[in-house]
Amino acid sequence: MMSEQPVIITKDNGVVRIRLNRPEKKNAFTQDMYTLCEKALKQANDDTSINAVVFESEGDSFSAGNDLNDFLAIENLDESAPPFRFLHTLNKVEVPVVAAVNGLAIGIGTTLLLHCDIVISSNEAVYALPFVQLGLLPEAGSSLLLPQICGYQKAAELLLLGDNFDAQTALDLGFVNHVVSAEQLAGKVEEVLNKLRAQSGQSLRVSKKLLKHPVESTAARISREAEYFAKALSSPEAKQAIARKLQKK
């Protein structure tokens, strides 16, 4: 039976859940799915009560990549097309993004993770970047982000050969934070989300903005951090958190 809604969006105590719900197609992305995900990201980013977004999936796979039949049907494949609008939004979103990965994570199923802040993987996950094998090219900024994360030679191997690799390799390469058993995946994700829920939303967003800011000199970064730090120190959230900390001593 075909799933009625290909992406299920829910709001759960400060967290927006984006659940890929096309298990009969291994959650392969369609234009409609990209549009739904983009809309959810924008709404989460505009809602100051949201401390995190989590990408998760229904069935035995995170995503098998793009639905090629649907992808080939895009009339104008430029930056106005749903896949690229989604990627630009994902790259700009200020709220922390978590991913829970199980089963296949192919193509966009892997490159999407390069834009996430915390990635938790099942030890049964299988990753691949098979663009060259399909006569295509890297996407989602992966030709820039992969060398930054795991070094040029490893990035070249992943992108030029396109071979499958496992969760431990993804962890060793640096774009997965934790590897757990399939049974522990949901619990580990909730542990991380609960920690994010407990943080200052403004501090989370500004910290992520600093982490993603283009490379600059150390002196310039100290000055940038000082500007944000001074503003944060005068906020009610910071004053309350510092008071609670002092009371515990």
What is the pLDDT averaged over residues 132-140?
Answer: 94
Considering the chain, what is the average pLDDT of its residues?
94
What's the pLDDT at 234?
A: 83
What's the pLDDT at 172?
A: 97
Instruction: Give the residue from 91, 165, 163 showing the smallest Cα distance to 123.
Output: 165
What is the pLDDT averaged over residues 150-157?
Answer: 97
Separation CA 150–CA 29 (nearest Å): 26
How long, in residues, is the chain? 249
Q: Which residue ranges make up each domain of the chain? A: 7-197, 213-248
What's the pLDDT at 200?
A: 93
What's the pLDDT at 249?
A: 66
Q: Which CATH class is domain 7-197?
A: alpha beta
What's the pLDDT at 171?
A: 98
C-alpha 92: how far from its chain's center? 11
Tens of pLDDT, residue by residue over 77-126, are 788 899 999 999 999 999 999 999 999 999 999 999 999 999 999 999 99
Tens of pLDDT, residue by residue over 11-46, are 999 999 999 999 999 999 999 999 999 999 999 999
Is residue 10 within a helix (H) or strand (E), and if so which, with residue range?
A: strand 7-12
Separation CA 105–CA 169 (nearest Å): 13
What's the pLDDT at 241?
A: 78
Separation CA 48–CA 21 (nearest Å): 26
Instruction: Give the residue from 126, 162, 125 showing the smallest Cα distance to 146.
Output: 162
